[in-house]
Amino acid sequence: MKSPLLQRNGFWQHLSDARRHFAQTTEAVVDPIGVVMPIVRSWQAWLNHPAELMTTGAQMMSDWTQLSANAWSRVNGARLSPDIEPDWFDQRFACPAWKEEAGWASLLEHYLYWSRAYERMIEETPGMDHAERRKAAFWFKKYANAMAPTNQFWLNPEAMRRAVETQGQSLQQGLAHLQTDMQDRRLPLTDMTAYKVGKDLAITPGAVVYRNALLEVLHYQPTTQRQRSMPVVIITPWINKFYIMDLTPQQSMVKHLLDDGFDVYLTSWKNPTADMGSTTMDDYLSRGIDVAIDTALQLSGAQEAHAVGYCIGGAALTMWLAIENVRAKAESRAVRVPHWTTLATLVDYHYPGHIEIFIDPASVDYLAGVVRRAGYLDGKSMSAAFRLLRSNSLIWDVVVRRYLYGEATKPNEVLYWNMDSTRLPAEMYIWYLTSLYLKNQLIVPNALSLCGTSIDLGKITQPLYLVAAEDDHIAPWRSVAHINHLLPASKRAVLSSSGHIMGIINPPRPDSRRSYRVGNVQITDTLEIWEARSTKCSGSWWPDWFAWLHERTGKWVPAQPLVNEQFPALAPAPGTYVREMSEHSAA
């Protein structure tokens, strides 16, 4: 359908501003995180522009007439191609009945039209700023997803077919799943009984060689007779647990590094409790990253280490390296990390992806009060926010398959890790939202002070291997790439296919359908210039990274001992902190 209401940048784009009708203090009480009020303000803005609203209404009436005519023609036997079709990635309407049967085809067409038309109206509301329109459109789309006919038994042809074919067993099994999930207070993405950490996942041999109240440092058993002399220290995110880097042996980045001759250390963070609410970003830098790197240097006997940071671990590593450069210069010594790698890491938070929907001053003030009372952000809340970003695949598809189809969830290592959530300490979390997401201060020289040192990313001169993922909705690749203009260092950049997890956990395999772009990048390069100069490759980017590391991580030496007298084994890998569960995680 060519209706203007389904086109972006429609005829209402350049209308005048509308007045705000509710005081911010009142709204903070009624709707603290802005789930409803942005949509209300959108409709108020339209009411303030009656001429445009009447024109829009007339177009809707015309479109409705066309949809009704299509429905009548189908009832009378006409085989019409649909005017509106689901997106290619939308699997909700895969059942053939949605295309082949007149009633279902018309229902689908009406649902898609009205949900998209209203979403377009909200996106282009006259008199609302861009951020407010995005927020209103986001929440409207979530409501529209929830109201999809596929989520209702009597409006889902596949659910009814299965109920008939199984003589009601699918519904009986779905009810059993519902009762179990209500008791467990969770909507499982996978079979949470299929894996056990340390037995099925995170099984690479190693030992905890250091422990404090914030982290354990793991050192892994070498798998080759010789290793590079410079250790590799992986700074994992403390949002979720470290074993995304060490799933099964086939998927484990840790094991692949070991098998290629690298000496690997890794951080495993404490799952915070209420008494850790005062833990700050300073603590994660000084008692976390600094300690992990010192442990690797002292145990290995090396003078330098390569550091790898993933997600928030990469952002923290960037802060630490800015501090390290200042201190090394003041102390007339070498920087302990002469080159580094970031994986799906944001340092410029101007556009942090759809997560920005949850982050504005009123929402942050509300969340600050909640987490300060608890002492931490509960992992359940954070998980729910990320699942809302892709509600069709991470919420409603699970609801339909479990409760309407009666299907059991299938084992999946990555989804198990995703459900094994962690908490965040209150003060660190509030600082993270305020200083980075709201104020974007990390990119402003000397706007932040951490560990008693002003942060200036321009001080970082160490070569960087930078990895982004093209379908990443948590760290959008174009935003990740902004680090190029902030650091006066040589860089090699990779743009991997897939998303925030699978774009990074991307081991070489003969049947891989993944691809990536790779190439050196100059500080003056635009994305277009880099893309034109880069090379498109199939498969995994890991071999390119390993080759880059081999050029920089020292000579071949006999494999390092796992432990020594100064750093004895405190526990076998994967350690004790990784086994600490949040209240809704797997037992």
Task: Enter the pTM of the model.
Answer: 0.90
Angle between helical axes of 157-165 and 169-184 (0-180°, round to 10): 110
Report long-range pairs for 286-290 (Cβ below 8 Å, ≥24 apart): 286/451, 287/212, 287/213, 287/214, 287/215, 288/214, 288/215, 288/235, 288/316, 289/235, 289/316, 289/317, 289/320, 290/320
Distance (Å, whole) CA 557 – CA 140: 59
CA-to-CA separations, 496 to 376, 491, 537, in angstroms, rounded: 33, 16, 10
174 C-beta neighbours (distance < 10 Å), count: 23
The superfamily (CATH) of domain 206-353+439-579 is: Alpha/Beta hydrolase fold, catalytic domain (3.40.50.1820)
Q: For residue 311, indicate whether it is catalytic.
A: yes
Contact between residue 115 and residue 144 where contact means Cβ atoms under 8 Å apart: yes
- Of 261, 269, 251, the closest CA to residue 231 belongs to 261
Find the helix or strand (DSSP H, E) in which 464 lies: strand 464-469
Positive or negative torsion for Cα 327, 328, 329, 331: positive
Contact between residue 245 and residue 252 where contact means Cβ atoms under 8 Å apart: yes
Strands 264-269 and 215-220: antiparallel
152 C-beta neighbours (distance < 10 Å), count: 12
Distance (Å, whole) CA 374 – CA 338: 40
CA-to-CA separations, 538 to 178, 230, 343, 495, 499, in angstroms, rounded: 42, 29, 19, 12, 16
Task: List where CATH 3.40.50.1820 sits in the chain.
Answer: 206-353+439-579
Question: Which residue of the set 95, 311, 451, 537 is catalytic?
Answer: 311
Written as tens digits, the pLDDT of the chain (587 aa) is: 556 555 544 433 433 444 444 445 566 667 777 888 889 989 999 999 888 899 988 999 998 999 899 889 888 888 877 788 898 888 999 999 999 899 999 999 999 999 999 999 999 899 888 888 999 999 999 999 999 999 999 999 999 999 999 999 999 999 999 999 999 888 999 999 999 999 999 999 999 999 999 999 999 999 999 999 999 999 999 999 999 999 999 999 999 999 999 999 999 999 999 999 999 999 999 999 999 999 999 999 999 999 999 999 999 999 999 999 999 999 999 999 999 999 999 999 999 988 888 888 888 988 999 999 999 999 888 888 888 888 999 999 999 999 999 999 999 999 999 999 899 999 999 999 999 999 999 999 999 999 999 999 999 999 999 999 999 999 999 999 999 999 999 999 999 999 999 999 999 998 888 999 999 999 999 999 999 999 999 999 999 999 999 999 999 999 999 999 999 999 999 999 999 875 444 43
Q: Kindly report the CA angle at 522 between 520 and 524, in degrees rounded to 5?
A: 150
Write down the H helix ranges in 432-510.
477-480
CA-to-CA separations, 13 to 98, 126, 128, 133, in angstroms, rounded: 34, 7, 10, 12
Structural Rg of the chain based on CA atoms: 26
Contact between residue 375 and residue 274 where contact means Cβ atoms under 8 Å apart: yes
- Of 225, 215, 220, the closest CA to residue 300 belongs to 220
